[in-house]
Every structure is written in C-alpha cells, then in structure tokens.
Amino acid sequence: MYVAVKGGERAIENAHRLLANARRGDQSVAEVTLDQISEQLGLAVDRVMSEGSLYDRELAALAIKQARGDLIEAIFLVRAFRATLPRFGASEPVDTGAMRVQRRVSSTFKDIPGGQILGPTFDYTHRLLDPSLAEGFVPQAPALAEASTAPTPRVTDILGRDGLIETSPQAEDGASVGDLTREPLNFPADRDLRLQNLARGDEGFLLAMGYSTQRGYGRNHPFAGEIRFGEVEVEFAAEDVGFAVPLGSIELTECQMVNQFKGSASEAPCFTRGYGLAFGQSERKTMSMALVDRALRAHELGEEVGAPAQDEEFIMSHSDNVQATGFVEHLKLPHYVDFQSELGLLRKLRKEFAEASAGANASDAMKEAAE
C-alpha cells in the first residue's frame, strides 16, 4: 500500500526553525551585532549595498546577518526590499571631482595635483595570517594630517584639458536616465543601462570578464587612470522647491580606466575611457567594471567584436547574481514531471534501438550462415 507524501507545510516550518538555530550557532557564543558587522566587516557591507543597489549600511548588515554571511543571499534580501520602496525621483548627478578623498591612486602619473593618497588599503600588505588579530587586537592610532583643502581634480580631467582623452559624455538636459529595474531591458542597450547593469553585477563575474580582456579576449590596453574612494554629497532637485536639496553624503569608489584608441580619418587619436562606480570601498569591483564597460564599447568605437566581454547580450544577461543564483538553484526544485516525460521517451528510444540492433544482428547472423 502506498500513501502519497503529505505534510510539506510542516517540513518547511521545521526546516526554517532549523535554519534559525543554525544561523545563531552555539548560543554560548556572543551574538554578532549589526554594528559589529558594519564596523568590522565593512567591505562585505559595501558589496551588499553595491550589488543590492541600496545605500543603507544598517539594512545591509542585517541582511548579512540574516544570510549567515552568504553575500549573494544578503544581496538578494536587500534587492527584494528595495523593489518595494516608493520612487520619488532621481538625484542630481553626484560630483566625484568634489569627493572628500580618503584614497586616491593613479598608475598613469607619478604625481598628480592633490597628491596620491594610499588610504586604507590591502595593497602592499604581506598576506601572512596575523594571529594577533585573533582576539583583543587594538590597532595603533593612525597617522593623521589636516585634511587638504587642495582640489583633487580627476586624472581624466587633466588629460581631457589637452584633448588627450575622449570627452566624458555630457548628460542631455531633460533626457531621462534608463532604469532597468523599472523598464524591461531591450537590446542593444545604451551605456546608461549597461553601467547600471554592471554596477549591480556580480563582482566575481565582472572580475572574470575584466580579467579575460587582459588575457586577450577583447584586449583594450587599460591603464588605471585613477581610483578614488571617499565621500560625496547627494542632492535632490525637488520640482516644487526649485533648488537642489542636500540628502546627505555617501561613500563611493570610482575607477576611470584610460584605454587605447587609434583614431580615425576624421578624428585625432585619443585615449578612451572605461568607467566603474560602486558604493563604499569596492576597488576590485570598480576596476573590473571599468574594464568590462570599455570592452562593451567595442562596437561604438568601431573595434572588432568577438570576445565574451564585448558581447552586450552575454554580459548583461548573465551578470546579475540574484538572477543567476535563483535559476541555478531552482534545479533543486522538483522536476519529476519533466523527468518522467524524458524517462518515458528514453525508454522508448532504447527499446527501439535494442529491437533495431537485434534485427540487424539477426540479419548479420543469417548472412554469415548463408556465406
């Protein structure tokens, strides 16, 4: 006698209770607080804010806690929350040239106005596991200087003054900026949508794609013109007020790649740009993004298109880790109806194959016997 499985609802509830316990872990160990996550796992928070496309450290920290440290799951939580938020409008474009810079490096010039600022970085650390960090570590007080009031112009602006680099595209007045979370994406997509897609895109995916351009799959001769990290003001132009209202400041990382360009009969040769921007301190992300942005401009710049990183449909359709993880992981949902269908077909094909080969063997045997 067979009784179909029931009680799925109970099973789900029990599984979720188990999850809650696994998340908390050994209860004799102190619970991690949102402040601890935000302060001590700051780069994880930055990544979740960036790819979740919601600037809220506290919610990102909560998401990381809820997701047991699984950052893609945390990004998913933030995205699902973001989708329900009302839209009041778009902010004014932020001015990264006026950034209060905490870190700023250029690989193209030894010295730049405003100076190179190393800031908090893993660069030049020796990657030796540090047992002193295991517990009770108190860092030395940082060496501080008066914040410089000297302007820190973007390196690309310095190149731009001499016309050595293509001009940054200017926003058309009144032209609406695309938003792929509010409009279905169509191909070919303009650069605003591509950049939005990359900004939300998975860091690992962009890293691999950017890396592939360096290894020759759509090479674009990049120099890290500048990477800067710091605070910028966000302003919102409220229609009925008549002027831009400050909303506060956010931390951003910006990367401007300077890339080669041959020029044409009608245009003098000049450098081209690849652009990356992300919330918080997200250098790997913005550098990868800038490489891929530049690769995706291949068509626009009249370059041969063939590498994966240059393929807009390929990149934009696969960069989103929330989409990707959902679809990959959906394979664990039951598929037994389809599988049954395939099984039936396969059995039938195998039976026919067996019958056909049996027939062929029989006729071979008869042939041999006759010979």
Partner 1 sequence: MNAPAYNFAYLDEQTKRMIRRAILKAIAIPGYQVPFASREMPMPYGWGTGGVQVTAAILGPQDVLKVIDQGSDDTTNAISIRKFFAKTAGVATTTSTEEATVIQTRHRIPEASLHANQVLVYQVPIPEPLRFLEPRETETRRMHALAEYGLMHVKLYEDIARFGHIATAYAYPVKVNARYVMDPSPTPKFDNPKMDNCPALQLFGAGREKRIYAIPPHTKVVSLDFEDHPFEPYRFNAPCALCGAENSYLDEIVTDDKGSRMFVCSDTDYCEGRQAAGHHGALSAAPYKDKAQGKAREKANG
Q: Which is nearer to partner 1, 117 or 305 (CB)?
A: 305
Q: Which is nearer to partner 1, 158 or 198 (CB)?
A: 198
Burial annotation 227-237 (CB, 10 A radius, 16+ → b, else e): bbbbebbbbee
Q: Tell me the two tokens of residue 1.
A: 């006698």
Given CA atoms 246, 38, 196, 78 in this order, what sign does their dihedral have? negative
State the Cα angle at 276 between 271 and 281, rounded to 5°: 135
Q: Quick one: how far is CA 225 from the chain centroid?
A: 21
Q: Which is nearer to partner 1, 283 or 320 (CB)?
A: 320
Separation between Cα atoms, residue 109 and residue 334, nearest integer Å: 58
Q: Which is nearer to partner 1, 119 or 178 (CB)?
A: 178
> In this structure, are residues 259 and 220 in contact, taking their beta carbons and an 8 Å threshold?
yes
CA 161 to each of CA 156, 167, 240: distance values in angstroms, whole numbers, following the listed order: 9, 9, 37
Nearest to 324 by CA among 68, 83, 73: 73
Q: Which is nearer to partner 1, 95 or 313 (CB)?
A: 313
Size, binding site for partner 1 by CB under 8 A: 56
Does 190 participate in binding partner 1 (rule CB under 8 A)? no
Does 89 participate in binding partner 1 (rule CB under 8 A)? no
Q: How far is the CB of 204 from partner 1 (least distance, A)?
A: 18
Q: Tell me the two tokens of residue 107.
A: 């690989």
Does 35 participate in binding partner 1 (rule CB under 8 A)? no
Does 355 participate in binding partner 1 (rule CB under 8 A)? no
Does 88 participate in binding partner 1 (rule CB under 8 A)? no
Does 361 participate in binding partner 1 (rule CB under 8 A)? no
Nearest to 225 by CA among 196, 274, 177, 258: 258
> In this structure, are residues 59 and 67 in contact, taking their beta carbons and an 8 Å threshold?
no
Does 37 participate in binding partner 1 (rule CB under 8 A)? no
Reduce the DSSP state of residue 183 to 3 states and report it: coil
Exactly one of 4, 22, 129, 150 binds partner 1 (CB under 8 A); which one?
Answer: 4
Exactly one of 41, 48, 59, 296 binds partner 1 (CB under 8 A); which one?
Answer: 59
Exactly one of 330, 367, 369, 370 binds partner 1 (CB under 8 A); which one?
Answer: 330
The amino acid at residue 265 is A
Does 3 participate in binding partner 1 (rule CB under 8 A)? yes
Q: How far is the CB of 124 from partner 1 (least distance, A)?
A: 38
Q: How far is the CB of 240 from partner 1 (least distance, A)?
A: 20
Q: Quick one: how far is CA 370 from the chain centroid?
A: 72
Q: Tell me the two tokens of residue 48.
A: 């979740």
Q: How far is the CB of 11 from partner 1 (least distance, A)?
A: 7
Exactly one of 1, 128, 143, 175 binds partner 1 (CB under 8 A); which one?
Answer: 1
Does 66 participate in binding partner 1 (rule CB under 8 A)? no
Contact range with partner 1 by CB under 8 A, out of 6-14, 100-108, 221-229, 359-367: 6-14
Does 176 participate in binding partner 1 (rule CB under 8 A)? no
> In this structure, are residues 96 and 252 in contact, taking their beta carbons and an 8 Å threshold?
yes
How many CB atoms neighbour CB 85 within 10 A? 8
Q: How far is the CB of 346 from partner 1 (least distance, A)?
A: 8
Q: How is residue 167 annotated by DSSP? A: P
Applying CB under 8 A, the residues found at the interface with partner 1 are 1-9, 11-12, 56, 58-59, 62, 76, 79-84, 86, 181-188, 313, 317, 322-323, 325-330, 333-338, 340-345, 348-349, 352
